[in-house]
Structure 1
Amino acid sequence: MKRVILTSSSGVGLAHADRADMVVPFIFRFVSGPLPTSHHLEQYLTGGYVRGDPEVRWSDLVGRLPQTGLAHKETGLIWFCETYGVDLIELWFDPEPNSQLQLIWTLDYLRSHPSITDRLRLRRVNFDLRGADGTELRDRMVRELEVADCDFEIANMAWEAYRAPTPELCFGLLGRDFPRLPFLKPAMEQLLAELPSPITGLGTTEARLLDLIARGHNRTKELFQPDGPLQTRVFDQWELGPLLEGLGSGPMPVITGLDPKLATLAPHDARGRNAAFRRSRLSLTEFGEAVLEGREDFRRQNPIRRWWGGTLLTNERLWRWDRQNHSLVAP
C-alpha cells in the first residue's frame, strides 16, 4: 500500500519515521505577514515553474524516493498521487495554530478534487510534532479518521473566516463545536489573543515578552529558543524578531537595548540580524513599565500596520481582543 503524509513544517521528522512512502511538509506561515494569494497557494501545489519565478513548490521539499526517484519534481501533488497509485493520503497536523491553519487550507484545497477524497485520512495528532523524537513519531499510536463531507465544509468555513478583512467571522467560530477537528477552536482563540489588548495595546506574546524582560530575561537567545521561557504557541523564532523590533521602535518604545544595527539590516539578512539580536541587551523603558502595569496603551502612542490573517490592523482600524471577557472589540 502506497502511503503519503501531508504535514506542516513541524512534522518534517515524519520523513524519518518509516510511516509513509513520502512525507510532504508544507512551509507556509499563515500567522504573520500578509496571507499568500489564492493563485500563489495554487501554484505551490500544482507544480511547474515560470521563468524567473523563485518560489518554492511542494516537491522541492521532498527528496529522491525509493520507488519513483525524482518523478514528483515539477508536478502537481494531485497528479502525482493519481498517477503513481497512492492508496492513502494522511493528514498529520498538530494543535499548534499555524499547523491548524495549514490543515484547514489543505482540506479546503482537497475538497475540489473528488478523485482522491476517498483516499484521505485524518490523523488526530494531539501532541507537538516538532518536539517528538524519531522513536515517538515511528511508534506512537495516533487515531485515524476518514475525512467526511462535514470536515471539508468546516475547513472551508474556517479558512474563509481567517482570510476575511475583519476577525469577526473567526470570533464567531468560538461559539461552535467541531468535535472532529478538536484543535481548531483553541488555535483560533490563541490567534485572536494576539490582537492588541483594549487596555495595554499588546497581544499575548508581546505582553509575555515585556513581562519576561521585566523579570530579567534580557537576552534574545533565551527569549527566542523554542523551549525557552516564552513558550509561544503562535510565532516561531523568526517571527519574534520583528515583533520585538516593533516594541522597541516608534515614538514611544516600551523596550530599549536592541542593537542599533538592526535598523540598517535587510529583512532577509538572517545571519546579520541573528548576530545583532544576540548582541542586544534588553530592558523596559519607563513607558514600557506603565504599559505592562496597564496604566498606558502602547497603541495610542505608536503606529501599527500589521496583518492578522486577512485583516490589516492600523490605528484607524484596530481590532482588539479582550482576554478577560473573551470578546472581540471593534475599532
Structure 2
Amino acid sequence: MQNILHITNGDGAGDLLTASTLPGDVLPWRDTMHQGPFPDIDDIDEVSRVRAKFLAGEALPVDAVQADMLARNNLLRLAADRDEVILWFEHDLLDQLQLVQILDWFSKPERRPGKLTLICIDDYPGIVPFRGLGQLSPPQIAGLVEQRVPVDAVMMDVSVRVWSAFRKEQPTDLFDILGSDMTALPFLAPALRRHLQEFPSSGSGLTRTEQQLLEIAAEGPVGPGHLFRENMAREDRLHMGDWQTFDRIARLMDTGCPLLRTVSGDAFLYPPVDNLLRDDFLAQQLELTPEGLAALSGDLEPGRIRRHEWLGGVELRSGQMLWTWSEREQCLRHLRF
C-alpha cells in the first residue's frame, strides 16, 4: 500500500478526506494566514510560535495551539519519506496563502516526497455558490483525486517569490509580483488582490471588510449572524470564517471612536472569547454610531480609526506611516493618517 499524505486547509475538508475511501493520512493546515504577523524568518518552528501566540488570542491556551502547530511541522518534515503528498486547496485567499507556504517548504529538493501533486478548484458541479471543499461529501471529495496534477518547477518558483514577498515589512514586492506571470497557479493573483484590499483605504481609512460590515449595519439594527452571512455573500472568494468576522465586528467597536455599537448599549459578546449561549449571542442587535455613518460617507478623518494589526510581514499601527490601498487607482500608497 502506498504511503500517502493529504494536506488541506483546516478540519472541514480534512474530516471529509478522513471519512472518504482514499488511503493515507490527513494533515489539516490550521492557520488563518490572512490575519496576524508572519516574521520573515525561515525557521518554521519559530514562525509557528509567533503564529500560535496570535491565533490563541484571549480565548485559547497558547501552549496547546503551539503544540498543535509544532506537531504539524514534524509531520511536514517526515513528508519526504512519503510515496506521495497530495495538496487539497481551493481558490480563496486563505487557501492560496497556505498553498504558497507549503510549496515554499517543498521547494527544497531534500524535503520532497516521491510525488507531489495538487488539487485546487474554484467550483463543483451542482454546488452554487461554491465556497470550498468543505461543502462536498466524502464520495465527492474522493472523486476529485483523479484531477490532481504534478507540482512543477514553475509553480514552485511562483510560490517561493510570493511567500518571500508576503513576509516582507513592505508590501511593495507583493504588489509588483501581480504584474508577473502567475498563470501556473491561476487563483493566486485574484487572492493576492483581495489581500491588498485589507489594507486601509487611502481615502476612508477602512479596509474592504470593515466597509462591507458597516454598509450592512447601515441597513438598520442587525444581529451578528446576519452580519456574517451578508458579509460572506459579498465575497466571491470567501476567506474569513465566523469567528474572524465576529472579531472584526468587535474591533469596529474599539477603534478610538467606535463605528458600531450594540443597540442595548452593552458590550458586544462573541465566541470564542466569551462563554454565552448561542441564542443570547445571536439576539444581540448592532447599529452604526454617528462616527460609523461618517466613515461610510467619507466624512470621518481616517486618523480617528485606531488600529494595530499585521498583514503578513507588514505592521499597521496608528500614528505611524501606514501602507494603504487605493481601489480606484489600484495601487498602494504610504500615508500618515
Range of TM-score over shorter length? 0.7 to 0.9
Paired position in structure 1 for 2:322:
318
Report how far residue 81 of structure 1 moved.
Answer: 5.3
Alignment-mate amino acid for residue 79 of structure 1: L
Q: CA deviation at 1:125?
A: 2.3
The answer to whether the 8 A contact 2:205-2:305 is kept is no
Q: Which secondary structure does the structure 2 equivalent of 1:124 belong to?
A: strand
Q: What amino acid is aligned across from residue 35 of structure 1 in structure 2?
A: F
> Which residue matches 2:26?
23
Which residue pairs with 1:109 in the alignment? 105
Q: Counterpart of 1:313 in structure 2: which amino acid?
A: L
- Uncovered stretches (5+) of structure 1, i.e. residues with no partner: 45-51, 62-73
Q: Who is 2:7 aligned against?
A: 6
1:177 aligned residue: 181
Are 1:91 and 2:87 an aligned pair? yes
Tell me: CA distance 1:237–1:268, structure 2 relative to 1, closer, same or farther (3 Å).
closer
Which position in structure 2 is the counterpart of 1:240? 245
Instruction: Establish whether residue 77 from structure 1 lines up as the match of residue 76 from structure 2.
Output: yes
SS in structure 2 at match of 1:250: coil
Pair 23,58 (structure 1): closer, same or farther in 2 beyond 3 Å: farther
Identity of aligned residues (%): 24
TM-score (normalizing by structure 2): 0.80
| 1:213 correspondence with 2:239 | no
Deviation at residue 77 of structure 1 after TM alignment: 3.2
Distance 1:271 1:34 in 2: 27
Q: Which amino acid aligns with 2:287?
A: S
When the two chains are superposed, the root-mean-square deviation of aligned CA atoms in Å is 3.1
Correspondence for 1:154 among 153, 158, 163: 158
Structure 1 residues 260, 192: CA separation in 2 closer, same or farther (over 3 Å shift)? same
1:70 is matched with: none
Distance (whole Å) between structure 2 residues aligned to residue 131 and residue 77 of structure 1: 26
With the length of structure 1 as denominator, give the TM-score of the two structures. Answer: 0.81
Q: In the alignment, is the contact (CA less than 8 A) between 2:116 and 2:151 conserved in 1? A: yes
Q: CA deviation at 1:227?
A: 8.8
CA drift of 1:292 comes to 1.1
Show the 5 A alignment for 1:1-331: 1-9=2-10, 11-12=13-14, 13-35=16-38, 38-41=42-45, 53-54=63-64, 55-57=66-68, 76-79=75-78, 82=81, 86-114=82-110, 116-127=112-123, 128-140=132-144, 143-216=147-220, 218-225=222-229, 229=233, 231=235, 233-257=238-262, 260-262=266-268, 269-272=273-276, 277-297=281-301, 299-315=302-318, 316-331=320-335
| Counterpart AA for 1:8 | N
Is the CA contact 1:226–1:236 (under 8 Å) kept in the aligned structure 2?
no
In 2, the alpha carbon distance for the partners of 1:225 and 1:135 equals 28
- Does the C-alpha gap of structure 1 residues 273 and 173 become closer, same or farther in structure 2, counting only changes over 3 Å? farther
Contact 1:94–1:129 under 8 Å retained in 2: yes
C-alpha distance after superposition, 1:114-158 (max 9, x if no partner): 353541112232332122233321224763222222222211110
**Distance (whole Å) between structure 1 residues aligned to residue 295 and residue 231 of structure 2:** 26
Deviates most, 188-197 or 272-281: 272-281
